[in-house]
Structure 1
Amino acid sequence: MTFQREKLVNVIQGDYTISEDPEAVLTTVLGSCIAVCLSDPQRGIGGMNHFLLPNRDGAEGENVRYGAYAMELLINGLLKQGADRSRLQAKVFGGGKMIGSLQDIGNSNTKFARQFLADEGIPCLAESTGGTQARRIRFWPTTGKVKQLLVSSDAARVEPPKPVPAAPPVADDITLF
């Protein structure tokens, strides 16, 4: 049995990564943010972005944390490295409603990603968006394969430590001072 080594590459908020390394696995954790995984499996190249908000007008919008700019960087980066636009395939993840009392940023991000891909003529083969759970994504860019793990809201909760019962007194063996 042969094991293939994996090179995990974490794609943080407001970033994107492109790879044609068959050992690379792009990974991220999402709440209301969106990750778009694009691949050209025939060429064996793909990439992932991780954006926080759909877009912003003006020069400040030219930042990878905004979807419009992050999508342009990802697509153009793939094309520069030999991907064929007609073979690009997308998978979209994230867009959760993480804080119930606030505006639904996740829904806005999801709508943006869907519309952007439709406008660019890039088919979305899979999507897992919305809900109230965070997601951990693992993306193999050379094949387009993606695995998702839903992270329960209980996993994020930190329980306070339980008090440790006091040890019974020990005879004067050791004195600490």
Structure 2
Amino acid sequence: MKYDVRSRVWDLDGRTVHYTSIAQGEHSVSDDPDAVITTVLGSCVAACIRDPAAGIGGMNHFVLPEQPQGATGPYDKTRYGSYLMQRLIDDLLERGANPRRLEAQIFGGASPGSSYYNIGERNVAFARKFLADRGIATRDASRVGQSGCKLEYWPVSGKTVHSPLAMPPKPKPPLIKLRRIMPLVLPPVAA
């Protein structure tokens, strides 16, 4: 596999593949059989949704499940799954997908440590519920556990390449070597 920096395409077995990278708060939809959508996830979630009969699919990347209740003031709605999940589905339907044929995969939800507010697990639970409420079948979801992952998704074929990112090794405590020191013996002090 060769990467051409100028054209941002890969040469894969003599076939040109169009590469689109999405970041937090973004989504992409394509009906190009040579398209690959990619992202890097931690506790965020990416939903990969496609209509296999129509040959169209897409991916989103959200940070949090929903806007907190009672939140006021301006906020970036693209951070939330409640916005991006619906946006992705709407864009698929606008381009000819049939809602009864949609199938999904969910990736991400890393949980680097135990915490009271485990956002990775909450993101995955939200995505599963959102899809179930709309009758969209979910194929095997790949969780990333404690570390993040790089995800590549071919929206037309549904092929995914899920590459876990290595956790940095835990630092080892410094090795301290102590020498044996003979006790200091002082002569008695005259009173």
In the superposition, the TM-score normalised over structure 2's length comes to 0.75
Contact 2:144–2:164 (Cα < 8 Å) also in 1: no
User: How many matched pairs?
Assistant: 156
Q: Distance in 1 between the 2:75 and 2:127 partners?
A: 16
Flag the 1:95–1:2 CA change in 2: closer, same or farther, 3 A: closer
Shift of 1:124: 0.4
* Counterpart for residue 136 of structure 2: 122
Q: Which one of 24, 33, 38 corresponds to residue 27 of structure 1?
A: 38
Residue by residue over 1:72-92, the C-alpha shift from the partner in whole angstroms, topping out at 9 and shown as x without a partner, is: 100000000000101100000
Shift of 1:8: 1.1
Q: Distance in 2 between the 1:135 and 1:50 partners?
A: 13
Residue by residue over 1:1-52, the C-alpha shift from the partner in whole angstroms, topping out at 9 and shown as x without a partner, is: 9522111100111110001111110000100000000001111100000000
What SS is found at the alignment partner of 2:146? Answer: coil
Contact 1:13–1:51 (Cα < 8 Å) also in 2: yes
- In the TM superposition, structure 1's runs of 4+ consecutive aligned residues that sit over 2 Å from their partners are 57-62, 98-103
Higher relative contact order (CA 8 A, sep 6+): 1
Shift of 1:130: 5.0
Identity level (%): 41
Q: Which has the higher helix share?
A: 1
Flag the 1:79–1:103 CA change in 2: closer, same or farther, 3 A: same
What SS is found at the alignment partner of 2:121? Answer: helix
Q: Which one of 6, 20, 23 corresponds to residue 9 of structure 1?
A: 20
5+ residue gaps, structure 1: 158-177
* Counterpart for residue 29 of structure 2: 18
Contact 1:40–1:144 (Cα < 8 Å) also in 2: no
Flag the 1:132–1:2 CA change in 2: closer, same or farther, 3 A: closer
Q: Which one of 145, 149, 163 corresponds to residue 163 of structure 2?
A: 149
5+ residue gaps, structure 2: 1-11, 172-191
